[in-house]
Chains A and B, each alone.
Chain A
Amino acid sequence: MAPPAEVLAVRGLSKTFPGVRALDDVDLTLHAGEVHALIGENGAGKSTLIKLLTGVYRPDAGEITFQGDKVSFATPLDAQKAGISTIYQEVNLIPLLSVARNLFLGREPRNRFGVLDVARMNREAEEILVGYGVHVDVRRPLRTLGVGAQQMVALARAVATDARIVIMDEPTSSLEPREVETLFTVIRRLRDAGIAVVYVSHRLDELYAVCSTVTVLRDGRRVHHGNLADLDRLSLVSTMLGRDLGEVREEGLTKFTGDHHAADSEPVLDAAGLTVPHKLHDVSLSIRPGEVVGLGGLLGSGRTETAKAISGALPVRSGRVTVAGTPLRGGSAPAAIRAGISLLPEDRKSEGIVPGLSVRENIALAVLPRLSRFGLVSEAKVDSVVDTFMKRLRIKASSPHQKVGELSGGNQQKVLLARWLAMNPKVLLLDEPTRGIDVGAKAEVQKLVDELAADGLGVLLISSDLEELIEGSDRVVVLKDGAVVGELTGDDVTEDKLMRTIAGDRRPEPVAKEVASDG
């Protein structure tokens, strides 16, 4: 095979947002016919890189060379016209127009009078789509198609616009397995036609099935690039998470004391067979009183969804949740809360705090009916509860009447914890409890989790911080693509074992392989 032509060369690309270095001196090279995996955890800089390539953002530094010319796209449309098409997770077509119209939008075939040639357009659309495994009446409105078929139309449109590069941002997140197969066939066809594909996904199986090269981003930097075949799954996971294999881990980096010695009592929470279409498949787990169960897995593996399904915030298709032996009825958030399940949501700002209300109101929010008689709030009772928890959790606010939106992230998180602890829950579901809060507050929250478990609460801990997850948990249930793929207990609760389980590689001997670093 002749050396394929270089389509895209990115040199030293950097982008800073207020307070964050989103992308730092990143290089990327794409050749014709290359399927390139772009991976990284949350905040690694994937989206920023894609948005710089497609003209959504302008870089602070660095240059982009596209087909030999230095380019600077002002808008996504510019990039698309030049030949860089992007397919986002959400389909960005026009739902009410017909499939054929969507496919040809902006370049409809016209007859010699300059009038839209509908017959020809429909005929051509049908021919094109058959090649993508989509057999539909192209005159139907796009929205009547399934998500998978819509995605194929988007893809067909992207390719038909004479793209040289197609960027796919988690294209399979809403596809059925059969549709994924079709997508792969299409990607291979693109590859053979000399189009470069950038493939963003967290599903390792897919990456290895379809990609030839890989770039790993972490904290805005490129930490690895090369052939995907040269990087086994375990190394890939450890590179992405920034953990070296077999590294002797220093103890005591977090404030967790470790073992809680959960009594061999009945589980306080038992979730069985939770299934949510496209998100969770038959997830089961149980937590005993006094136990901290970690939920491990990569981004998009279904950790947040599991917590939300248990807490009734995400409707399940099937499955059952039992709290202290009593099955949960209704599957709604209020029912779960009444049963004693409390969820500290991942998105603290939009799903947790009520920003315009005071610290006091926020703490009392959930417990308010219990502090009221005949719907009248007892201010004295509220004051006493608020006072108790502000002291116990050491919440720093100028007064209980300060707006919670004005507090630091760590204090906001403590306010949310206080809101739930005031409910006297049996189970706490903590989704990224220390993300985005400062080191001091982080240590305090970790210590608090320990204390709560020691008091007999069942805790489910979700954290992207491996150290926190491993040190904080007595047991770790590992998720992958929305299903449980393993469980680590006792001495097996180590970062090594966790990464192995995520990678789907459970050989006992560590693969002593140097993780290739940048360059």
Chain B
Amino acid sequence: MAEATLRTAPLDRTRVLQWLQTYGVYAGVAALLVVNIVITPHFLSAENFRTQAVQAAPVIIVALGMALVIGTEGVDLSVGAVMALAASVTALYLGYGLLPALLVVALFAAAVGLANGALVALVGVQPIVATLALMVGGRGIALVLLPQLKDLRNPSLASLGSGAIAGIPYLILIAAVLALLVAFVVRRTTFGRQLLAIGDSRPAAQLAGLPVRRVLILVYIASALLAAVAGVLATARLQASDPTSLGNLMELSAITAVVVGGTPLTGGRVNIAGTVAGAVLIQLLTATLIKHDLPPSWTQIAQAIVIVAAVYAARGRGKR
């Protein structure tokens, strides 16, 4: 009966919303591409696509970690601060060579992730509060380490930021590899399955004997590490360390990418492909407005509209 009714009413509202939540982000990306090809001069060029992708890469990488955290019904507000911290630490340790500097960056990031995860998993602080502390404190530490912008003249770092293999910039390759890796972790590893179960029903996961605390802590560490990667790449592209403004509002862009990409804030589901598309959507939206000389405030308004639309579509599924 119910099925028959659904079939005779293909434009059923909830079904439209469900479709939008799953595929809306791809439709949005496609629409923006078509619109730009028609109205924006010089849009349809390899060079332009490369630029767009390079600019989207840091958001994609941060959003991957954010997607994992949101999958556990959490949120990580400290990602922007971790990017700034990564920039500072890179500048401080670059003298020892790029690789040692990256290792120190990873240590700092892991420490931030551990602190976030411990607050959430062991102390039981709300994720939004726990990570708010490091959102503020993390950037503070970054600025203590490096109070102002510093130009970095390091050939390895410069090539990381602007080099390419077969015409594809490292930034894009790294983002793509990380996206595949995270998708693989979510789908094929015990860690990924446990993460989703915890996000869907923490009491059930606990009673089923899952290592809830360990998984939560690892998720926040992963998010911080990914944010650090994004921070280093952005610094490499700038060839300067800018702890004051690097990663500002990045947490909001990342959350937007994740939510627009069809990952519900209520946890239990992670859509990596959608998250990547969500980040691309935001980048295209920004680029479109900039290329037509609209002030940056318009970008924020446009982003807000996209968020509202995504949240509205998400209502279609609801939380049981």
Contact = CB atoms under 8 A, between A and B. Distances in A.
A352 B193 contact: no
Contacts of B307: none
A350 to B, nearest CB: 6
A357 B190 contact: no
Nearest to B192: A377
Interface in A336-390: 336-338, 343, 345, 350-357, 361, 364-366, 368-369, 372, 375-377, 379
B197 A313 contact: no
Contacts of B200: 354-357
Contacts of B210: 334, 365-366
Interface stretch (B15-23, B159-167, B201-209): B201-209
Contacts of B208: 337, 365-366, 419
Nearest to A406: B320
B101 interface: no
A355 B201 contact: yes
A333 interface: yes
Contacts of A369: 190
A376 B186 CA distance: 10
A368 B210 CA distance: 10
B189 A377 contact: yes
B211 interface: yes
Interface in A390-410: 405
A205 B206 CA distance: 36
B189 A375 contact: yes
B204 A354 contact: yes
Of B193, B208, B320, most A-chain CB atoms within 10 Å:
B208
Contacts of B320: 355-356, 405
B207 A372 contact: no
Nearest to A420: B208
B191 interface: yes
Contacts of A350: 201, 203-204
A356 B269 contact: yes
A420 to B, nearest CB: 9
A353 B204 contact: yes
Contacts of A376: 188-190
A12 B4 CA distance: 42
Contact of A372 (B190, B209, B211): B190
Interface core residue of A351, A352, A356, A361 (most chain B CB under 10 Å): A356
A354 B201 contact: yes
Given A334-B211, A365-B208, A375 B191 contact: yes
Contact of A377 (B188, B205, B211): B188
Interface string B206-224: 1111110000000000000
B231 interface: no
B189 A366 contact: no
Contacts of A338: 209
Contacts of A357: 196-197, 200, 268
Nearest to B189: A375
Nearest to A333: B209
B271 interface: no
A352 B190 contact: no
A379 B188 CA distance: 8
B22 to A, nearest CB: 15
Contacts of B196: 356-357, 361
A353 B194 contact: no
B189 A372 contact: yes
Contact of B268 (A356, A368, A377): A356
A352 B188 CA distance: 23
Contacts, number: 76
Contacts of B206: 313, 333
A343 B207 contact: yes
Contacts of B269: 356
Nearest to A368: B190
B207 A375 contact: no
A354 to B, nearest CB: 5
A334 B209 contact: yes
Contacts of B201: 350-351, 353-356
Contacts of B193: 361, 364-365, 368, 377
Contacts of A356: 196, 200-201, 268-269, 320
B197 A361 contact: yes
B207 A351 contact: yes
A62 to B, nearest CB: 34
Nearest to A352: B204
A128 B191 CA distance: 58
B194 A368 contact: yes
A337 B209 contact: yes
A102 B294 CA distance: 57
A351 B204 contact: yes
Contacts of A405: 320
Contact of B197 (A333, A337, A365, A377): A365
A340 to B, nearest CB: 11
A351 B190 contact: no
Contacts of A351: 201, 203-204, 207
B72 to A, nearest CB: 13
A365 B201 CA distance: 12
Interface string B223-255: 000000000000000000000000000000000
B254 to A, nearest CB: 23
* Most chain A CB atoms below 10 A, which of B189, B190, B204: B204
Contacts of A311: 207
Interface string B100-134: 00000000000000000000000000000000000
Contacts of A377: 188-190, 193
A336 B209 CA distance: 8
Contacts of A355: 200-201, 320
**Residue among A313, A337, A365 with max Cβ neighbours from chain B (10 Å):** A365
A121 B257 CA distance: 56
A352 B204 CA distance: 5
B319 to A, nearest CB: 9
Interface string B241-282: 000000000000000000000000000110000000000000
Contact of A352 (B194, B207, B211): B207
Contacts of A364: 193
Interface in A134-166: none
Contacts of A337: 208-209
The 6 tightest CB contacts between A and B, nearest first, are: A337-B209, A356-B268, A356-B200, A334-B209, A354-B200, A366-B208
21 contacts: A313-B206, A333-B207, A334-B210, A337-B209, A343-B207, A350-B201, A351-B201, A351-B204, A353-B201, A353-B204, A354-B204, A354-B268, A355-B320, A356-B196, A356-B201, A356-B269, A356-B320, A365-B210, A368-B194, A372-B190, A377-B189
Given A333-B209, A354-B205, 15 more contacts: A337-B209, A350-B204, A351-B203, A352-B204, A354-B204, A355-B201, A357-B196, A365-B205, A365-B210, A366-B210, A375-B191, A376-B188, A376-B189, A377-B190, A379-B188
